[in-house]
Amino acid sequence: MLRLLPLLATAAAVWPAPKSISLSGASVKVQPGGAAFFKLNGTSPLLEAAFERYAGLVFPHRAASDGAALASLAVRVADVAERAPQLGDDESYALSIGATAATLEAATVWGALRGLETFSQLVSFDFDAGSYEAAAGAVEDAPRFPHRGLMIDTGRHFQPLASIFEVVDALPYAKINVLHWHVVDAQSFPFESTSMPELWRGAFSPRERYTQADVADVVERARLRGVRVIPEFDMPGHADSWCVGRPDLCPSETCASPLDVSKAATFDAISGLLDELAGGLFPDGFVHLGGDEVNTACWESTPSVAAWLKARNLTADGGYAHFVKTVADLAIAKKRRPVQWSEVWDHFKTDLPKDVVVHVWKSVTNVADVVAAGYDVIRNVGYDATSWYQTRSRTSFERRLSRLYRYLDNLNVNSSAVYGNEPCDGIPADLCAAHVLGGHGEM
């Protein structure tokens, strides 16, 4: 992926803004040296691969050998152990660029990756002189939130592997550390399931699918960049595509979604799918189970499901509660924390297992109540929507809309207002620090 170096490296060039940055105003001549420019105090295949990548990103142009003072970056990492990244990993680092030496210190390989990105942003190429220079100074940095994500949706819009790889490659440029992969939706089921091979008959076409080897490649590419991959299999709604290969999981041929809450086979199938996800394919500690926009009309209009609900003295909403709590418990039993959209909280509040992470995308969800009840939150929504339609100004409406959502397909939204969204709005500082894990940009 093409990435341009800054014309002049300044504090503003470091993105996102670090915890602390102090630049002297001086610049240091840099002599590029390929991957060998980076000197590690140990052995790490992950960082050695990162040095190869960053050599190309930092030094894309040929430069004359002119005896520049800075010929290497010393990378000192306390713990070079490698594994899959997880929530709460230490991503802190300290970077110092002086007249004759530069050092990057980090507790973990993940912090070293973030520091390499910052170093790359502080190096610029002087086209007139044909040489590189770096801004002298020091950066100390650690993320404010441990969970910083971007969602891609391959269930509604198939994306070739090459496209997903490009997204993964770009995430570290903004120190984003989560790829939220909304794998399937009502429109298609492109994922290869070994426990239910019939399911990917619901793909857009036989060629618009992902094998498990494809998935493993995405996850490994992300790991090498310090990016967690969280899969989402939305249920019980948004599940029409499941019915193409497994019609028995759906209420009827004419009323496909939500998935059939009345059948043990439905939960057996979900349990088998979760076994695949948690069995090594997705090593992250989270699994997203959706739960949003559930229209229970199919349950009420399908005699067998309606009879099942009646026999248990359940309303359709009670069936919805049974479903989302059952699948959350299945995930927890497989040592995965379930993430569910805000409607699940809005309906069932503290009936949910405390391990559930509430993913808030709706302004009607009272985030302060969620965190006060002790639940962790991923937040995509900020300001209250009650005054949307009280404004007569289109500009004001767009500003309010952009504050409300980080949905990247809202192309009419001004990005500056989106970036101004504050995840702790309306939440006491201590509860925000304890329970707001971070947020996402959603596509």
Two structure tokens written together for 407:
């949905």
* Contact of 228 with 177, CB cutoff 8 Å: yes
Q: Give the residue among 422, 426, 392 at the shortest CA–CA distance from 404.
A: 422
* Contact of 376 with 357, CB cutoff 8 Å: yes
Name the amino acid, one letter, at 294.
Answer: V
Two structure tokens written together for 414:
């001004």
Catalytic residue among 293, 300, 398, 442: 293
Active site annotation includes 293: yes
Q: What b-and-e string marks burial along 29-52, b requiring 16 or more CB atoms within 10 Å of the CB?
A: bbbbeeeebbbbeeebebbeebbe
Helices and strands in the chain, H and E counts: 14, 15
Q: Give the residue among 232, 209, 230 at the shortest CA–CA distance from 219.
A: 230
Q: Would you give the distance in Å from CA 94 to the centre of its chain?
A: 25
Alpha-carbon distance 99 to 21, whole Å?
17
Q: Give the residue among 406, 346, 338, 419 at the shortest CA–CA distance from 376.
A: 338
Distant-in-sequence, close-in-space partners of 21: CB < 8 Å, separation ≥ 6: 11, 14, 137, 138, 139, 140, 141
DSSP readout, 93-156? Answer: EEEEE-SS-EEEEEEEHHHHHHHHHHHHHTEEEETTTTEEEEEEEEEEE--SSSEEEEEEETTT
Q: Give the residue among 132, 127, 111 at the shortest CA–CA distance from 57.
A: 132
Catalytic residues: 293
